[in-house]
Amino acid sequence: MQEIVGTSDQVLEVNLTDRSVTRYRVSEELRRRYLGSKGLGLKLLYDRLAPGCDPLGPDNIIAFMPGVLMGTGAPCSGRFEALAKSPLTGIMGASSCGGPFGMALKTAGWDGLLIRGRAESPCYLLVSAQGVEFRDAAELWGLEIPEAQAVLDTGKQASVVIGPAGENLVRFANLAAGHRFLGRGGLGAVMGSKNLKAVAALGGAFRIRPRAPQALAKAKKRGTKYINRNAISLDYRRFGTASNIGPCLERGIVPVNNFADGRHPEAGRLAGQAMAQGRDTKHATCKPCTILCGHSGVFGGQRMIVPEYETVGLLGSNLGIFDPDIVAGWSRLCSTLGIDTISAGGTLGWVMEAAQKGLVSSELRFASPDGVAEALRDIAYQRGFGAEMALGSRALSQKYGGRDFAIQVKGLEMAAYDPRGSFGQGLAYAVANRGGCHLSSYLVAQEVMLGLLDPASHRGKARWVKFFEDLTCCVNALQTCQFTMYAYVLEPPLAKYTPRPLLAMLMQHLPRLAIPLVDYSLYTGLFNAVTGLGLSQAQFLRAGERIHVLERHMNCREGIDHRHDRLPARLLEQGRASDPEGLTVPLDQMLPAYYRLRGYDQQGVPTAETLQRLEIL
């Protein structure tokens, strides 16, 4: 077996229209500036994508980018990123995923795969150490995801594959890699528009050897120790991400009936701890994984993947449904058809409320499971009103009214945390590059899970949102699981042993002093051990800032500015039904400070000075 020392720096570029394949070598300077995975993928697309291109046209490019840590055995490092212009939002879409495909692509010798054009007929690609083969997919087209995977995923070969929703250009269609999903932004529709059913990679030709093996071994040991003693990591290991239901219910931020409320007496049934009871739960995770948040269990007499927090929030409580068996069944149906559960739940929630208010004709009702499975199938196959639901809640509200309760930002349905009980998360939603995304800057962790920031104060939130946006870009460029941030940031001695009241006071009132004290050196150490580039802490975080601002710059080329950094009117003007204080998100008190810190002008556009400082121009 051959070895790759550090990174291969080899990227394949495929044009489906003329079946041409070229190879591109990533320079060391590009690696220093953009690190890898999401960061490197954005830079490659920035250099190739024309502003204004049709997301479902042949000129759009979808990129698959394995992580820098992939193949090294670092904790939670079996992840890759996919990027393209999103057909749901019209701006950049990026999604991170586990599953076996990334490892197969990486050990076939490739640090990236870019695909443009459109095939004349359904096809799939087989990527190996020798290059790319174009294969006919006529017999795969129309298959649901598990059926297609049964054909494509054999031995050392692993795939990313779309289901009927992607083939039918549902704007929030996803891609599957094993039992994990590239969920957000409609990347499945991008592949469908290219007549591309799947990309399979035949791995195992190369092993990955870090530049500094001893340094990597030391960092891996420290990372594993931190994860194995971190309370939230251990909760995820035992009960999955749905363990978040407890603290979110306590704070009143679990979406109920299309974000009309944040609490319900039955919502506890959807918590990971409750779903683990009597369901013979077992781990079902990415490889390699140390946190082990993925689980399977028995629902309705069948073994299924235990739904994640976002799924139980959007397809469960958001629709007024609290039966785990029902939600697990819908989750599996979405996985089979290739539909993002977050956007599906957000869109169905809008439809239920719009029907209640007489804006649309639909039999879907809050608290009733009747018709939901049929609606999901109608969406996937673009049947009847399903063809309109397949466009997402923004498009529906633009046509029928009800924009104030279409819970989306920039066209992307919002995740399952009500920001009226987490103001920093509200700012993070509003300014997130890909739309209503909770993972761009996960302030709900500091505000609700950990109690380190006052969730009902806007003080200091702009600075923390910016910091975690930059750090998250670094994490997504490595790639490693974002859940490692709990352990890697909280378990170093300064954070772990500083008295909690003092730590909270510093973070809330003196963020300018607190942020430089945050120890994220484990991430920098992992990157340097693999690549040998020796980036300092400041250079590493500056790369994260560069990645974030580049993505904003790319979005601004598509027309994004301050007018789009908004939350739905419901969250700005109407309190939650169970909240006696009637809190709403004070977005306008946080945005100006955020723009100043980011180096954007008053219109929310990165200034020329900012782009030059970050060496983007």
For 127, list phi and psi in degrees, rounded to 5.
-105, 130
Helices within 113-271 (DSSP H only): 145-152, 164-167, 187-193, 213-229, 231-239, 245-251
Cα 52 to its chain centre, rounded Å, is 24
The structure's pTM equals 0.97
- For residue 510 the two structure tokens come to 């003196």
User: Which amino acid appears at position 428 of this protein?
Assistant: A
User: Which residues in the chain come in under a pLDDT of 70?
Assistant: none
User: Residue ranges of the alpha helices (H) in 432-460?
Assistant: 444
**Neighbouring residues of 374: CB distance < 8 A, sequence distance ≥ 6:** none
Domain extents in the chain = 2-209, 240-401, 419-613
Write out pLDDT tens, residues 440-459: 999 999 999 999 999 999 99
Phi, psi values for residue 128, rounded to 5°: -140, -175
How far is the C-alpha of 34 from the C-alpha of 477, rounded, in Å?
Answer: 7
Per the DSSP assignment, residues forming a β-bridge with 126 are 133, 200
Q: From the centroid of its chain, how far is CA 251?
A: 24
Helix (H) or strand (E) holding 94: strand 92-97
Fold for 240-401, please state it.
1.10.569
Q: What tens digit of pLDDT does each residue of 196-228 get?
A: 999 999 999 999 999 999 999 999 999 999 999
pLDDT, residue 306, reads: 94
For the domain bounded by 2-209, which CATH number is listed? 3.60.9.10
Residue 306 DSSP label: P
* pLDDT tens, residue by residue, 235-246: 999 999 999 999
What pLDDT does residue 617 have?
A: 80
C-alpha 98/C-alpha 309 separation (Å) is: 17
pLDDT in the model for residue 571: 98
Dihedral sign, CA of 43, 46, 49, 54?
A: positive
Pull the structure tokens for residue 117.
Answer: 């054009």
pLDDT for position 288: 85
pLDDT of residue 286: 81
Which pLDDT score, from 0 to 100, does residue 225 have? 97
Dist CA 471 CA 548 (whole Å)? 10
> Distance (Å, rounded) from C-alpha 569 to C-alpha 345?
19
Q: What interhelical angle do 372-380 and 324-337 show, nearest 10?
A: 10
Sole residue written with tokens 């190369």:
206
367 residue type, one letter = A
**Residues 6+ positions from 5 with CB-CB distance below 8 Å:** 209, 210, 211
pLDDT value, residue 287: 79
Report whether CATH 1.10.599.10 matches the domain 419-613.
yes
Per-residue confidence (pLDDT) for residue 116, from 0 to 100? 98
